[in-house]
Structure 1
Amino acid sequence: MPRPRTVSDEAILDATHDLALRIGPARLTFAAVAAEVGLSAATLVQRFGTKRDLLLAVATRGVDLWVGATDRASAGTPLDRLVAGLVLAVETIRTPEQMANSVTMLQLDLSDPDFHAQTLRGAQGVRAGIERDLRAAVDAGELRSDVDAATLAVTVETAYHGAMISWAIHREGSLADWMRRQIEDVLRPYRTADEPAG
């Protein structure tokens, strides 16, 4: 009978993600992850294989959490849920340095086909969640009845991605607050006259 694992794969992947945001993927090693989670580097190699395999597992889990953020935001109206979900999706990034390391990880996501497949799956899931909430907002009367939810979803998604970079450049307040303002600004012209923002 195999020994029970003292640290779950999910906990290891989450710790690896947090470490990669702090120090960057280039400096990430099995030894560094092992020190974070209290296991030996050999144990991590046995469980995940290569550093690339570990980072791909991190990316896969990260995509699931990213897409799921729009589902975990539960309070309020459809637009409240939409904004809260996009803010929740960036909650792990608290410093410009973490954002820079996230962009470094994005380079891998865009250049390696296996990583890109996961990133594309995530982006498609996020856009679908945005469109779902926008359609619900139209049905609820929060947005004008003539709003094309599919087209606006692309615009909101683009604002979401751009807000992360612009925040890292301007460094005004927290990313969460910056993200909320940018998404609210994009939505404001499409709201019905009697529906105030935020």
Structure 2
Amino acid sequence: MVRPREFQDEVIFHGVYRALCKKGYGQLALTDITHEMNISPAALMKRFGSKKNLLLAYSDYVIELTRQAFHDASLSGQSPIEALKTVFRDAVSHMKDPVELANHTSFYLEGTNDPDLLEKTRYRLQLIDEFTRRMLNQAITNNEIVPCDVARVSRVLQAAISGAMLIWIKESDRSLDELFDECFQVIFASLVQGGAE
């Protein structure tokens, strides 16, 4: 009898990511995930117990990826503002087009109907805000930007980045890199030049 193939969690979570990008949260079925990695739904159920447990584990995986991305950026040798831009850019670098981005984002938006998934999403967003503030404070310490209301700048930056991803639907001839660069240029222009917030 052939022994079933073992899959590392990272491979499984990559399958979840690819399936979400193609189907979105509302249309996602276990078979969509298993199709991405050539594993049976029964094997996936044996490992996680339910689709919800799999998505909760995927959320934990994304949270750790987020934490690691900010950690790596802080050690990259880039200025804090450039490192921050790299984190936001790399987070969506595998998205081929606005449809994939919208489909994957639906996991965080439509998943708010589930209290457990909502809690994971809130925690991840809090982490992003915490690390963003930390890097902004480092930019102030390094005299890269002038002292400012860090909490406010963090909120506006995150809102601008989220908005840029929506604008990509309308302006798909531009790259997300261009749209993100524009956000950073506008938000930090006065802070770098020492003007008013």
> Normalised by the shorter chain, which TM-score bucket?
0.7 to 0.9
> Within 5 A, what are the aligned runs for 1:144-155?
144=146, 146-155=147-156
Q: Deviations over 1:53-111 (max 9, x none)?
A: 22222222223223432222224211111111111122232311112212322233322
What residue is the counterpart of 2:126 in the other structure?
124
Q: State the alpha-carbon separation in 2 of the partners of residues 172 and 82 from structure 1.
A: 24
- Partner of 1:17: helix, strand, or coil? helix
- Partner of 1:91: helix, strand, or coil? coil
The RMSD of aligned alpha carbons is: 2.1
Q: Percent identity?
A: 26
Residues 80 and 135, structure 2, Cα contact 8 Å, conserved in 1? yes
What residue is the counterpart of 2:63 in the other structure?
63
Q: State the alpha-carbon separation in 2 of the partners of residues 90 and 66 from structure 1.
A: 12
Deviates more, 1:13-22 or 1:177-186: 177-186
Q: Could you tell me which of 84, 87, 109 is aligned with 1:85?
A: 87
Where does structure 2 lack aligned partners over 5 or more consecutive residues?
Answer: none
Residue 44 of structure 1 deviates from its aligned partner by 0.5
1:7 and 2:7 matched? yes
Mark the CA change 1:82 to 1:37 in structure 2 (over 3 Å): closer, same or farther: same
What residue is the counterpart of 2:114 in the other structure?
112
1:171 and 2:172 matched? yes
What residue is the counterpart of 1:162 in the other structure?
163
Residues 69 and 86, structure 1, Cα contact 8 Å, conserved in 2? no
Q: State the alpha-carbon separation in 2 of the partners of residues 192 and 139 from structure 1.
A: 16
* Alignment-mate amino acid for residue 24 of structure 1: G
Residues 82 and 130, structure 1, Cα contact 8 Å, conserved in 2? yes
Residues 34 and 41, structure 1, Cα contact 8 Å, conserved in 2? yes
Deviates more, 1:130-139 or 1:85-94: 85-94
What residue is the counterpart of 2:188 in the other structure?
187
Residues 87 and 176, structure 1, Cα contact 8 Å, conserved in 2? yes
* Alignment-mate amino acid for residue 152 of structure 1: V
Q: State the alpha-carbon separation in 1 of the partners of residues 128 and 4 from structure 2.
A: 35
Q: State the alpha-carbon separation in 2 of the partners of residues 11 and 65 from structure 1.
A: 14
Residue 183 of structure 1 deviates from its aligned partner by 2.4
Q: What's the TM-score once normalised by structure 1's chain length?
A: 0.85
Residues 156 and 183, structure 1, Cα contact 8 Å, conserved in 2? yes
1:16 and 2:40 matched? no
What residue is the counterpart of 1:196 in the other structure?
none
Q: State the alpha-carbon separation in 2 of the partners of residues 5 and 192 from structure 1.
A: 58
Where does structure 1 lack aligned partners over 5 or more consecutive residues?
Answer: 194-198
> Which portions of structure 1, spanning 4 or more consecutive aligned residues, are displaced by more than 3 angstroms?
none
Give the length in aligned residue pairs. 190
